[in-house]
Structures are given as structure tokens and as C-alpha cells.
Copies of this chain bind each other. A is one copy, B any other.
Amino acid sequence: MNKKLIIEAKNVPPSRPRFEVLGVFNPAVVKFGQGYVMLARVAEAVVQDEPGQFLVPVLSETGGMEIVKLGKNDPAYDFSDPRLIKNHDHSYLTSISHLRVARSQDGEHFTFDEGGIIAPEGIYERYGIEDARITKIGMTFYITYTAVSDCGINVRLMSTTDFTDFTKRGNIFHSDNKDCVIFPKKIRGKYYALHRPSLSHFGKLDMWTAESPNLVDWGNHKIVPAARIEYAPSARIGAGAVPLLTPRGWLTVYHSADTFDRYHLAAMLLDKRDPNKVLMKSIRPLVEPTEPYEKEGFVNNVVFTCGLTQEKDTLSIYYGVCDQNVALCRMSLADVFANMAEV
């Protein structure tokens, strides 16, 4: 295994004055033309220059950027989480994310497009857009992403053919949901996705499958309980990279986090003709925080993938580290399978 840090947030400029970049992370990567394209999540916060106030960025109703001021001593708000400001009635994110386009010839050295910003827009994206996954179907790239707002956490879809013009296609999964990846081929006449609903009373944060005739309307939601990992404590799991069709089935790299928010990546193999059926699963973590850049950052011990590419027998897994930077891990398919056992 071969890990390296390939993008550092400190080298990426903010999108507007008064903002600073907290993280460039959780990138989707696909092959495009002769090279590679990345959609990275860029989380920005307002520069905190008003003593006693916490400045929170949100889209205004008219589409501009609004800065909400919360008194740091206001007992109605809980500022203890670096990502989230909790209130019984109206919580906020501390930062607002957009997606940014980067390109590479070698899949390792990426350059951000001048002006290549996919900005949050409209009422479902008021707190930002996050964690894209890119699925190529025909000549079109379908991009699922998480939108956060005071309407909840929705999964939305956009599409592009050139990574310059993007068409947003609305909410495909209602709140609360995230970590949605679409399979790149129809299976028995239907499109399939993995997704991760949130729950309020019963159940665990598990992966589910859904089916669609057209990529925008989804149904037949089914839980994938076998995706839960057994070799370590797991509070939640969620799909990561778009599944890769191998001769043995759909290879899927996903994340698991324990109750201390320590993440690792695992792999599972899904049946070629039934993506709800898990055939094999990692028997130990595939990627876990071992390097300093994986262990310490804006949020410690986070490794979170939104995309991988394949060159012959080698996988390149792109992943966000510590909600701050981007790392790349290369390993052989044989090594991935050597760490899996039948379910």
C-alpha cells in the first residue's frame, strides 16, 4: 500500500473576501478525456474578526451570502463541535461548502480550474453542498451530492458532459440522507444506488439500496445489513466510491466510523445481478488513519472516500483526511481481495 497527501487546503484560495478555506477534502475523481477530473469539497468559514460573535455563513433567500452572527456566550447555542452549532430549534454548520473542479494528467498532481466553482444555490443548499460522487453513464457524468439547509440533509443530482457546465436536477432522496452513489450500469433493467438514510427513533445508520428507471425517481428501498462491519465497533457506515464492476461482482469501498468518530475504509463485493446481496467483505480495515495527516487535522482520524479509479490491476483510492486535505492510496486489486472473506 502506498499512501500520500496530494492536496493541502492551505494551498487553495478562498472563493470570496472575508472567507478562509478550512478544508479541501472528500473528492470524487473520474477519468475524463486523456486525464482525470476531481470534484473536491471546499469548506469555507468566515474570518472570525468580531470579538464575542461567531460568524456563520449561509445563503440568503435572495441567493447572496449572508453572515449570521451568534453570540458566543448565548446559552441557546452549543459551540463544542467544530463542524456544527447546535440549537434546539435552529442549528447551523460552522462552514459552508462548495464543490471545486480540478484536473490532472497523471491522477496525482491536480490543478484547480480558474473559476471552476460549483456554488450552493437555492433553499436546499443554504448551508452548502458536500461530498460529490461521479458516475459515468454513456457520455454523461451524473453527480450525486449532499445538500444541507434548514430543510434538512438531502441527496441531490446534477449532470455534466464537460465539467464546465452543470445541470442541477433536484432532490433525489429526501431528508435526511447522504452518502449516495449511483452504479455505472443498469442491472436487470434498472439503475441502482447505495444511500444512507438518517434515523430518529429506531435502527442504525446503515447502507441501503434503491432502484430507479430514470436516475431521478427512486424506490424499492432495501437495507443492506450485511454491509455492517464485524471486526471493529461501528456507529455508522456509508457508501464511498462508485462501485467498480469486476469479474467477481461490484467492488465497493465504503467508510465506517465508530462512536468516537474514528473512521476507516472497508471493501465489499456485491452480487453482479443483485446489488443488495453482499458476497464478500473486508476482514480488517482497508485504509485506516496511520499517518500524521490522517490522524490530526480539522477533525482527527477521518478517512473518507468519494471516488477511486482503476488502471489495470491497480486501484487509486482518493480520500479526504481529517475533513481538511486530500490523500491518495494506491493498492492492487489482488490486495483488496486478499483482505476479504465470504459473508
The smallest C-beta distance from A197 to any residue of chain B, in angstroms, reads 5
Q: Is A148 in contact with B217, judged by CB distance below 8 angstroms?
A: no
Our pick among B91, B195, B201 for the contact of A174 (Cβ within 8 Å) is B195
Given contacts A174-B195, A174-B210, contact A148 B218 (CB under 8 A): no
The smallest C-beta distance from A155 to any residue of chain B, in angstroms, reads 9
Contacts of A152 in B (CB 8 A): 197, 199, 201-203
| Bound Cα distance from A56 to B204, whole angstroms | 20
Q: Is B195 in contact with A198, judged by CB distance below 8 angstroms?
A: no
The answer, yes or no, to whether A256 is at the interface (CB within 8 Å) is no
| Bound Cα distance from A91 to B204, whole angstroms | 11
Query: Beta-carbon contacts of A145-159 to B below 8 Å, as 1s and 0s?
Result: 000111111100000
Q: Is A219 in contact with B172, judged by CB distance below 8 angstroms?
A: yes
Q: Is A197 in contact with B217, judged by CB distance below 8 angstroms?
A: no
Q: Is B211 in contact with A91, judged by CB distance below 8 angstroms?
A: no
The answer, yes or no, to whether A293 is at the interface (CB within 8 Å) is no
| Bound Cα distance from A199 to B213, whole angstroms | 27
Q: What 18 new A-B contacts, CB under 8 Å, besides A173-B174, A199-B200?
A: A149-B203, A151-B202, A151-B223, A152-B199, A153-B201, A174-B210, A175-B197, A176-B198, A176-B199, A176-B200, A176-B201, A200-B200, A211-B217, A212-B219, A213-B217, A214-B217, A217-B217, A217-B218
